[in-house]
Amino acid sequence: MTDTTVAVDVEAAVLDVCRRAKVASRELATATRITKDAALHAMADGLVAQSARIIAANAIDVAREREGGMSPGLLDRLTLTEARLATIADALRFLASLPDPVGEIKRGSTLPNGIRLIQKAVPMGVVGMIYEARPNVTVDAAGLALKSGNAAVLRGGSAARECNEVLIAVLQDALESVGLPRDAVQSIDAYGREGAKVLMHARGLVDVLVPRGGRDLIQTVVRESTVPAIETGEGNCHVYLDASAPLQRSIDIVLNSKTHRVGVCNAAETLLVHKDAEDKLPAVLEALHLAGVTLHCDEAAADLAPDNVPTVRATEEDWATEYLSMDLAVKIVDNIDAAIEHIRRYSTGHTEAIVTEDIGAADHFVKHLDSAAIMVNASTRFTDGGEFGLGAEIGISTQKLHARGPMGLAELTTTTWVAYGDGHTRA
């Protein structure tokens, strides 16, 4: 068998999966909330009932990847336990408790000619998800797609393939048990990277593609996909201490933004300090140091570090780095506009925070930045679907089209205009 033959086979197979998803999506689109919630509960129950089988499959993946040299951190994310499965099942039950995003009337009016016009939320159709070796995302993505009335085509990492295969079967059984089509949740893991490429070009069959994972994965999807994709998750977030920043509040917000959880996109990566707030910096740096943070300081900031606080000299690269670790870049700026310039230059447009007592400075900061979220006197960690009250979170969009910031179920819907006349024609 030649390479070309393989490619053609993969293309045909993946497109067939997408076509079946499209057919299934029509049933999903008109399914009532009662049916969709019953499916979510059946999925949760199935995961618990089949936990031994799921964990056994997962153990094969974990053993193979450990053998292959996967890092302990990634191995941990790959590993399922009874307790983790129970948490995953609970997340499905929570999804069932959320309102149905489908059918919500977004706008409406009676036109001057008497036509009654409504714009209502409808499912996208087929949602493609490409993600890395985390079996929980398989369940999460399937649940989010289902609740929003969409069929899902999933491409997980090959490192989780044994487990994903079992998970998909359990989810499909649950769909069938409530009379929904099995094709509403399908995997293309069997078709490898080639299959993922076909998915990215299945324009017309797949309505939106949501990559979930690291920078490389997301950039590949954004660059290659002809299916509309939503860019998520890269966060080079900043905290700016304004001239009027109070000391304790500065320490609280900087510490929380940096150290509350370091591997997430809404963690702070750079601290900017107005030169008139320099007197607060030694205490802030000391608190960060005691929390275990490595401080990458420009010369002015380094000069202000107490003797017991070691620093490393920041380079150009530090300003642009999303560390995702206990590291923080620190820089003194001449004024708020210099802070804004720095952020505009290096930010990924995720979240920026200002600590200030000056209402004018807060307004200026909000007005002149161009990021998905701006925090005034609050930690960057609040940019989160759960914290924002959106219920579920699909990801955090750093693009401007369709969705920006935390995306909930509503962002997996589109709209239809419906006009009711009684024989209206245009004059």
The residue ranges that bind a second copy (CB under 8 A) are 26, 29-30, 109, 111-112, 115, 117, 119, 122, 124-125, 203, 207-208, 222-223, 226, 228, 230, 246, 248-249, 252-253, 255-256, 260, 362, 366-368, 370-379, 381-383, 387-389, 399-402, 404-406, 414-426
Helix or strand run (H / E) with residue 305: none
Return the number of the residue (25 or 58) whose C-beta is nearest a second copy. Answer: 25
Return the number of the residue (171 or 378) whose C-beta is nearest a second copy. Answer: 378
Inter-residue contact 65 to 209 (CB < 8 Å): no
Shortest approach of a second copy to residue 54 CB, angstroms?
Answer: 32
> Residue 92 — φ and ψ, nearest 5°?
-65, -40
Q: Look at residues 25, 16, 5, 33 and name the one whose alpha carbon lies nearest to residue 96.
A: 33
Query: Concatenated DSSP letters for 239-284?
Result: EEE-TT--HHHHHHHHHHHHHS-TTSTTSEEEEEEEGGGGGGHHHH
Shortest approach of a second copy to residue 164 CB, angstroms?
Answer: 27
Give the span between the Cα atoms of 153 and 125, in whole angstroms.
11
Q: Look at residues 393, 387, 386 and name the one whose alpha carbon lies nearest to residue 407.
A: 393
Shortest approach of a second copy to residue 377 CB, angstroms?
Answer: 5
Return the number of the residue (302 or 394) whose C-beta is nearest a second copy. Answer: 394
Shortest approach of a second copy to residue 414 CB, angstroms?
Answer: 4
Helix or strand run (H / E) with residue 182: none
Give the span between the Cα atoms of 45 and 421, in whole angstroms.
47
Strands 327-333 and 268-274: parallel
Shortest approach of a second copy to residue 125 CB, angstroms?
Answer: 7
Residue type at 71 in one-letter notation:
S
Return the number of the residue (45 or 387) whose C-beta is nearest a second copy. Answer: 387
Shortest approach of a second copy to residue 227 CB, angstroms?
Answer: 10
Return the number of the residue (164 or 319) whose C-beta is nearest a second copy. Answer: 319
Residue type at 385 in one-letter notation:
G
Return the number of the residue (114 or 306) whose C-beta is nearest a second copy. Answer: 114
